[in-house]
Amino acid sequence: MAYARKTSSSNSVNRAYLANDCSLTVALEMLSGRWTTQVLFVIHFGENRFSMIKKRLPGISDQLLGLRLNHLMENKLIIKEEIAGEKFYSLTDRAEKLVLILDQLGSWQGCKKN
C-alpha cells in the first residue's frame, strides 16, 4: 500500500537520490516492513493460504497480513491465484531467487530457521 508522501521534503528527496544511486537501497526498503520477510518465507515453506500464513505467524494482525501480501504482490514477489474458489499465494521466480539470498544472509547473521 502506497502512502501519500510529501515529495518536496528532505526525506523524500534523499530517498529518491538513494534509490537512483543504488538499487540495493530499493530492495532493502522493499523488505524492511515488519513481518515482510517472515510472510515471504512462510509462503516459500508451503503455507500458501491466508489462514495458513496467519496460523504460522500468530502475532501478525489480519489487517497487517493483508497489507504485507498486497505489498509483496505490488512488488511482484508473490502472485495470488484462485482455484475452485480458494485463493492461494505463491512466490514468483524473482522471489525464489530472493529467498535464497535472504537465507544466506540469515545464516550469516545466525538467524534460526522456521
In a domain, 41, yes or no: yes
**Long-range contact list for 91-96, CB < 8 A, 24+ apart?**
91/40, 91/43, 91/44, 95/40, 95/44, 96/44
Structural domain count of the chain: 1
For the segment 46-73, what is each residue's pLDDT rounded down to a tens digit?
A: 999 999 999 999 999 999 999 999 999 9
67: Cα within 13 Å, side-chain hemisphere: 14
Domain harbouring 95, CATH code:
1.10.10.10
Q: Containing domain of residue 39, as a range?
A: 34-109
Cα separation, 71 vs 77, whole angstroms: 9
In a domain, 99, yes or no: yes
In a domain, 88, yes or no: yes
Cα separation, 39 vs 55, whole angstroms: 11
Q: Please count the residues of the chain.
A: 114
In a domain, 6, yes or no: no
User: Looking at the predicted structure, is the pLDDT value of residue 2 above 60?
Assistant: no
In a domain, 24, yes or no: no
**For the whole model, what pTM was predicted?**
0.78
In a domain, 2, yes or no: no
Residue 112 grid cell? 534460526
